[in-house]
Chain A
Amino acid sequence: DGGITQSPKYLFRKEGQNVTLSCEQNLNHDAMYWYRQDPGQGLRLIYYSQIVNDFQKGDIAEGYSVSREKKESFPLTVTSAQKNPTAFYLCASTKDRSSYNEQFFGPGTRLTVL
């Protein structure tokens, strides 16, 4: 079945540690996105990539980094510079840039910083 997978589902990290969240899709989609969701707030865009080997900062990129070395993979690293990393992280993809409005989401990763 085609879809987006994110791992792990739950992640606990100590303050000061970097952590990488995985996002893989087998939909052959060109564009991929990372969001974070906090209680009482809408999804906020962290980074997005419209094509392999290219990505752009979203609205809240500080403290995060990404790579897009393969079409199917778009890992997100939460660095120790991110001041408040505890959140629900969602990865999404779209067929291409022009279909950005119909986003397919992965099941998400809940990150908790202890």
Chain B
Amino acid sequence: RKEVEQDPGPFNVPEGATVAFNCTYSNSASQSFFWYRQDCRKEPKLLMSVYSSGNEDGRFTAQLNRASQYISLLIRDSKLSDSATYLCVVTHNDYKLSFGAGTTVTVRA
């Protein structure tokens, strides 16, 4: 079983729609959680951290469910510029990151 699993998508949504997707992780001792964004053929960039109480950053909302071992990302009022692959990232206590394969979101006009 992969350490971090994501639905690859693609999620095709119209502009203005809300899109949400999850990521599951297998190690119950995982400590920290993040979403990175990767544009086509570019490097990943940190989008946001995921806190236990849930957190928002503008149109983006991240949630963590430790009991069920998943994190989620919700994008409200989608923009064309939100089209990207979103990578779920999990850390342990060994100063390394574990990356999911990514969920692709395509926002259409």
Contacts and interface: CB of A to CB of B under 8 A. Distances in A.
A63 interface: no
Contacts, number: 50
A53 B76 CA distance: 46
B4 A42 contact: yes
A106 B99 CA distance: 17
Contact of B91 (A43, A48, A101, A106): A101
Is chain B's binding surface mostly helix, strand, loop or mixed?
strand
Interface in A38-94: 40-45, 48, 50, 58, 90
Contacts of B45: 105
Interface string B48-79: 01000000000000000000000000000000
B43 A105 contact: yes
B87 interface: yes
A58 B96 contact: yes
Nearest to A96: B95
Chain A interface bracket (under 10, 10 to 19, 20 to 34, 35 or more): 20 to 34
A42 B101 contact: yes
Contact of B96 (A41, A48, A90): A48
B43 A106 contact: yes
B43 A100 contact: no
Interface of A: 31, 35, 40-45, 48, 50, 58, 90, 97-98, 100-103, 105-108
Given A43-B99, A45-B96, A102-B46, 20 more contacts: A31-B95, A35-B99, A41-B101, A42-B4, A42-B98, A43-B44, A45-B97, A48-B96, A90-B44, A97-B95, A100-B97, A101-B34, A101-B49, A101-B97, A103-B44, A103-B46, A103-B97, A105-B45, A106-B43, A108-B43
20 contacts: A31-B95, A35-B99, A42-B2, A42-B4, A42-B102, A43-B87, A43-B99, A45-B97, A58-B96, A90-B43, A90-B44, A100-B91, A101-B32, A101-B89, A101-B91, A103-B46, A105-B43, A105-B45, A106-B43, A107-B43
